[in-house]
Chains A and B, each alone.
Chain A
Amino acid sequence: MSEEATAANQSVFNPFNIVAGVIVLIGIVLTVLRFTGGLGAITNLSNNNPWGIWISFDLLCGVALAAGGYTTSAACYLFGMKKYHSAVRPAILTAFLGYALVVLALHYDVGRPWRLPYPILYQQGTTSVLFEVGLCVFLYLNVLLIEYSPAALEWLGLNTVRKIVVKLTLVLTIFGVILSTMHQSSLGALFLIAPSKVHPLWYSTYLPVFFFISSIFAGLSMVIFESTLSHHYFHDKMDKTHLAESSHVTFGFAKAACWIMAGYFTMKVFDLSMDNDWHYLGTSYGIWYLAELLGFVALPCFLYAVGVRDKNIKLIKWTAFWTVLGIIVNRFNVSLVAFNWQLPSSERYFPHWMEIGITVFLITVFVIVFRFIVRRMPIFYEHPDYKGSH
C-alpha cells in the first residue's frame, strides 16, 4: 500500500508508463487498421505464405514458453517436490496470461475471430491437428484460470469459493499435464501434413515429440529467466519463503532442464539418422541447422550442467535466457525458415513492421497485466490469512 502512495506521488509519466503508453497507442492504431483493411493492410502474408510471425511467435513460441505452468505444478503437486511450491503461483500466472494472450493474438490472425468457437461448438473437423490444438488450448486456458483463481480469490477475500478451488488442485494439475502434452506436441504435428514444404532437416515424424520435449525445458528455463526478472523488479513483493526457495528452484530446474535437453539432443541426432538427412548438413540450411542444434541445444545443455556443478547461479540464469532464445529460434526455423524452403527467395516471407508492431503491443499488454496482478495479489508471497494452507 505504501508503494501505491509513493507511486501516486510520483508523476504518472515515469519511463515505464511512457514507453508502455506509446506502444499501446501504436497497437490500437494497428488494431484499427487490421480490422478495417484486412490482413493485407498490415501484414506481408501471401497465398504461398499464409502463416507469419503471429503464428510463429505469438502461437508457437507463446505456448512453448508458457509451459512453465504445467511443468512447475507437476513437479510440485505430482512429483512431490514441495520445495518448489513458491514457484508455482508465478508460473501459473505466467502460463495463464501467456495462453490468454495467445488466444488474443489469434483474433488478429484468423479471418473471422468471432467464429473461433465454431470448431468446438458448431462443426468439428476432427481430422485436423488444428482441431486438437484448439480444443486443448481452450480447455487448458480454463484449467489455468481455475488454477490461478485462488490468488485472485484471496485478494478479493472470497474464502468459501477458494476452498473449493484449492480442493481441485490435484485433478486440475493432472488434467493440465494431459492437455499440455497433447497440444504442445500437436503444435509440432501441425506441420506433418506438409512434408513437401518443410525442409527435410526440420521435417520429421518426431516433430510432435520434439515440440513436447522442448516445451518442458522451455517452461523450466522460462521459470528461471522470469524469476531473474521478477527478483529485479518485484523484489519487495517477495516473502521469506519465496526468497529462500528461489535458489533451490533455480538449481533444481537447471538440473532438470539440462537432463531433458540431453535427451532432446539425442533424439535430434537419432532423427537425422532415421531420415538419413546427413547429406543436407553440408548445405547452407545444414549449417543453420547445426547452429541451432549445437548452439541452442548442446551448448546450453552443457552450460546448465556446469552451472549446477559449480553452483554458479549467474551462469544458470544466462543459460536460461539462451535456452529461451533457442526455443524461439527452433519454432521460427520450423514454421518460417524451413517452411517453403523450395520457393525462390522473392516468394519467401519476411514480416512487415506492423506485424512485429502487433506482437510487441501484445507482449506489452502482457507485462502491464502481469505487473498489475503481482503488485496486488499474493503471487510472490503467501497471503497472511492463508499461510501454509495450500
Chain B
Amino acid sequence: MSISRRKFLGWMGAAGVSLTVGQPALAAGNKHFTGYPESFGVLHDTTRCIGCRKCEEACNKVNELPAPERPFDDLTVLDNKRRTDAGSYTVVNRYDDIEGVDGPVYRKIQCNHCLEPACASACFVRAFKKTEVGAVTYDASVCVGCRYCMIACPFNIPAYEYNEALTPRIMKCTMCYPRLMEGKLPGCVEICPKEALTFGKRYDLITIARERIRKFPDQYVDHIYGEHEMGGASWLYVSGVPFNALGMREDLGVIAASQFTSGALASVPVIAGLWPVLLTGIYAVSKRKDKIAEQEKRQAIKATLAKASADAEAKVAKALEQADLKNKRLIEVEVKKAVEQAKANNAEEGS
C-alpha cells in the first residue's frame, strides 16, 4: 500500500508538533503547557470521608487561624452548607438524601490549586503564583484588595477579610506550602483518620484514582474531578455519586481561565498598533478635505474678482469712447472709484 502524499505530509506535521511540544519554551504557533511535571496534589475520596471535621481543626491549627465560633467536634455545624471564609481555609459539607445512596455523603472544600489558576490570571499584581510543587500561593505584601480573584475563581474559594479596616487579606488554602517546603504533609492530609485524603505526585494520584474506579466500578462514578476541569487542578476527587450532588459544578468545561481572556487581551496590541494609523489617517483625510475646500473657495474669489475688474475695465473703455477729451480725467477718477468699490464688494461676499 502506497502512502498518499497528504498522509505523508500529515505525519511530517505531527512530527513537527511533537518536536515543539518537547521544547515548550521554543514552541512558536501551537503552545501547549503541561504544568510542572513533578508537582504534588491531593486525592480526595469522598466515599471514605466520614465528616469528622478533623481536617478543619488541623487546618485551623497549622495555619494559625482564629478560633471558630463553635468547636470542631460540634457536628451540627454540618447542618448548613458552608463555604471557605476569612477564618477557614477548608470546610466539610454534608449532603443528604442523594438518590440511590443510604445516608449522607461528605465532601471537603478547599482551594483546588488549579494547574492554570484563574486567580493568578486575574491578579493585576501577581500576588498568586503556581509554584513548582503544585501549591498556588498568595502574597499579601503586594495585594491591593481588589477582589478580582474572587470574581474569577470558578470554585468560589478565595475569601476576603471584610472586617479588616486597613490590612485586609485574601484568605485561601496554601496546600500548606510552608510545610511542604519542610518535607511535611499538608495538615489536613496528615490528620485524616480514614485516608480520605491521599498526598502524592499528581500523575501518581491519577493512576491511583483510575485504579480505584477500575477495581470497584459500582462504588465510583467513572470520572476524576479535577483532572481536566478548568484546565486541571492539583486536587482531585473521586466519588460514588454524581459530583453535582456534592455541590461541585460539572459544567465548568476544560478550558483554563486564562484562555477566556487571552483573546480580548490579544486585541489590545492591535489597537495600540493600528489605531494610530487609522485615526491619523482620518485626521489627514478630513484635513485634506478642508484644504481643498479652502483652495476652491480662494479660487472662486479670485475668479469673481477677475471678472469684476474685467467688467470695470470694459466700463472704462466705453466711457472713454463716449467722453470728451475734456472730461476724460474726471471720468477716469470716477471709474477708478467704481472699480475699487466693486473689488471691495466682491471681497466681502467671498469671505
Contact = CB atoms under 8 A, between A and B. Distances in A.
In the complex, A touching B, CB below 8 Å?
yes
Interface in A84-133: 109-113, 115-116, 118-119, 122-125, 127-132
A272 to B, nearest CB: 20
Q: Which of A115, A116, A124 has the most CB of B within 10 A?
A: A115
A193 B249 contact: no
Contacts of B162: 38-40, 43, 45-46
A48 B159 CA distance: 8
A359 interface: no
Given A192-B264, A193-B260, A177 B279 contact: yes
A78 B279 contact: yes
Contacts of A80: 283, 286-287, 289-290
A102 B265 CA distance: 22
A244 interface: no
Contact of A125 (B125, B163, B253): B125
A79 interface: yes
Interface stretch (B180-188, B214-222, B270-278, B324-332): B270-278
Interface in B273-306: 275-276, 279-280, 282-283, 286-287, 289-290
B147 A128 contact: no
Contacts, number: 184
A128 B121 contact: yes
Interface stretch (A61-69, A180-188, A257-265): A180-188
A198 to B, nearest CB: 10
B76 interface: no
Contacts of B123: 125, 128
Interface string A187-199: 0011111111100
Contacts of A132: 265, 268
A18 interface: no
A36 B121 CA distance: 31
Contact of B126 (A38, A48, A124): A124
A125 B126 contact: yes
A280 interface: no
A38 B165 contact: yes
Contacts of B84: 47
Given A78-B286, A193-B152, A186 B264 contact: yes
Nearest to A339: B151
A243 B304 CA distance: 34
A170 B283 contact: yes
A38 B168 contact: yes
A113 B289 CA distance: 49
B125 A123 contact: yes
B264 A128 contact: no
B165 A122 contact: no
A197 B268 CA distance: 25
A194 B154 CA distance: 7
A205 interface: yes
Given A80-B289, A127-B120, A181-B275, A208 B144 contact: no
A77 B279 CA distance: 10
Nearest to A340: B156
Contact of A48 (B83, B127, B166): B83
A41 interface: yes
Q: Which of A78, A119, A205 has the most CB of B within 10 A?
A: A78
B125 A122 contact: yes
Interface string B132-149: 000000000011111110
Contacts of A124: 124-126
Contacts of A191: 151
B160 interface: yes
Contact of B283 (A35, A78, A186, A190): A78
A116 B144 contact: yes
Contact of B163 (A40, A112, A128): A40
B16 to A, nearest CB: 28
B165 A35 contact: yes
B150 interface: yes
Nearest to B120: A127
Contact of A130 (B122, B150, B154, B169): B122
Interface string B82-122: 01111000000000000000000000000000000010111
Interface in A135-191: 170, 174, 177-178, 181-182, 185-186, 189-191
A267 B51 CA distance: 50
B64 interface: no
A193 B118 contact: yes
A27 interface: no
B334 interface: no
Given A125-B124, A174-B279, A182-B271, A115 B261 contact: no
B275 A178 contact: yes
Given A119-B144, A190-B148, A129 B264 contact: yes
Contacts of A174: 275-276, 279-280, 283
A38 B163 contact: yes
A185 B272 CA distance: 13
Given A111-B167, A196-B251, 6 more contacts: A38-B164, A51-B151, A80-B290, A130-B124, A196-B154, A196-B253
21 contacts: A47-B159, A51-B151, A78-B282, A111-B144, A111-B146, A112-B167, A115-B145, A118-B125, A123-B125, A124-B126, A125-B123, A127-B121, A129-B261, A182-B268, A186-B268, A191-B151, A192-B263, A193-B152, A194-B151, A196-B249, A197-B154
Top 8 A-B pairs ranked by shortest CB distance?
A: A111-B145, A80-B286, A40-B162, A50-B147, A189-B264, A131-B124, A111-B168, A50-B150
